[in-house]
Amino acid sequence: MTRHSLATLLCLILAVGSVFLSQTTHAAEPPLPTNKQVLAQLDDLYRSKSSHATMTMNVVKRRSTRTLTMEMWTRGQDQALVVIRKPTREAGTATLKNKEELYNYAPRADRLIRIPSGLLGSSWMGSHFSNDDLIRDTSWDKDYTTQLTWKMAGATRVLLARMKPKPGAPVVYTLVLFTMHATHFTPIRSEFYDRGKLVRTMTYDDVKLISGRRIPHRMVLVPANKPKERTEMIYERFELDVVVPESTFSKRGLRRAAKR
């Protein structure tokens, strides 16, 4: 066999091997889940008929660090009450979400202040979360068009959801990317973009089984324009489907919870 023929044969063998490897790798890839399966998991991650939680929020900024201990109640998707318990100087300060309205409560002045729509983008409790994060009732299923693909993160296969808002959807971000566990779709990381520019990144860990659900108990939000800053939310206790009276989300109920 001539040198030219041998080289041709080697190229053919390599080409066939490459095709075989590609087909084998593709065949080993599991079928993608349906959008319905994945989006239902994301939409219902922290939602339930009702919930009660205690949590710690650590806010790290360039020149300061702040830690708050808070208690939270929710009922359905439209009602939530968050009360600061520590530090003492801020104890009783609260935020109430009731339907489409958002209020802040100042205990020393005993004043309940409605947050106007123009301030929804402002910081919530001095954190990197905004008031808008609390009041928006975004549905990943209803508000976004989603494309699912498999992705390798090192040696681990993960699920990537690429989400773009549907026409007319009342959402802030023009693109959201979710990286999720390959089998139970618990989020690992999410990236939020506005017109092609990364705005913030959220990571999720410390997953615990609560009422049959895998729920991340630690979330870390990092703004893209301030990568050395972050807000960390840690759930110390989290209960689902507990008894939470609707009166909790009234002005009287707020004051009663704030004074405990």
Annotate 15-68 with three-state secondary structure: HHHHHHHHHHHHHHCCCCCCHHHHHHHHHCCCCCCEEEEEEEEEEECCCCEEEE
pLDDT for 227 beyond 80: yes
What does the pLDDT look like over 47-83, one tens digit per residue? 889 999 999 999 999 999 999 999 999 998 889 999 9
- CA–CA separation, 88 and 69 (whole Å): 10
Q: Phi and psi of 32, rounded to 5°? A: -70, 145
Give the separation between CA 97 and CA 215, rounded to whole angstroms. 22
Together in a domain, 68 and 194: yes
Range of the domain at 184: 35-258
Residues 20 and 135 in one domain: no
Q: Please give the average per-residue pLDDT across 222-228, as a whole number.
A: 97
State the average pLDDT for the chain: 88
**Cβ-proximal residues to 187 (8 Å cutoff; 6+ apart), any chain:** 42, 45, 178, 179, 180, 181, 204, 216
What band does 2 get if pLDDT is binned at 50, 70 and 90? Answer: low
Q: Which domain CATH number covers 153? A: 2.50.20.10
Looking at the structure, do residues 98 and 162 belong to the same domain, yes or no?
A: yes
Does one domain contain both 25 and 147?
Answer: no
Question: Mean of the pLDDT values across residues 159-188?
Answer: 95
pLDDT at site 21: 46
Same domain, 57 and 103: yes
Is the per-residue pLDDT at 11 higher than 60?
no
pLDDT digits (tens, 9 = 90+) for 73-116: 999 888 999 999 999 999 999 999 987 789 999 999 999 999 98
Per-residue confidence (pLDDT) for residue 137, from 0 to 100 = 65
Same domain, 17 and 40: no
Residues 15, 71 within the same domain: no
Burial, 156: exposed, middle or buried (Cβ in 10 Å; 0-12, 13-18, 19+)?
exposed
Is residue 68 domain-shared with residue 183, that is, in the same domain? yes
Q: What is the DSSP letter of 260?
A: -
Q: Report helix, strand or coil for 188.
A: strand
**Residue 45: pLDDT band with limits 50, 70, 90:** confident
**Is the predicted pLDDT of residue 13 greater than 50, yes or no?**
no
Are 25 and 87 part of one and the same domain? no
pLDDT tens for 113-166 read 999 877 878 899 999 998 878 766 678 999 999 999 999 999 999 999 999 999
- Asked whether the predicted pLDDT for residue 44 surpasses 80, the reply is yes
Specify whether 21 is located in the same domain as 148. Answer: no
pLDDT class for 191, splitting at 50, 70, 90? very high
**Same domain (yes/no): 5, 120:** no
Rounded CA-CA distance 173/19 in Å is 40
Res. 14 pLDDT band, cuts 50 70 90: very low
Question: Percent of the chain scored above 90 by pLDDT?
Answer: 71
Structural domains counted in the chain:
2
Q: Are 6 and 67 members of one domain?
A: no
pLDDT at 12: 44
Burial class (CB in 10 A: 0-12, 13-18, 19+), 104: middle
Is the pLDDT reported for residue 186 higher than 60? yes
Model confidence, pTM: 0.85
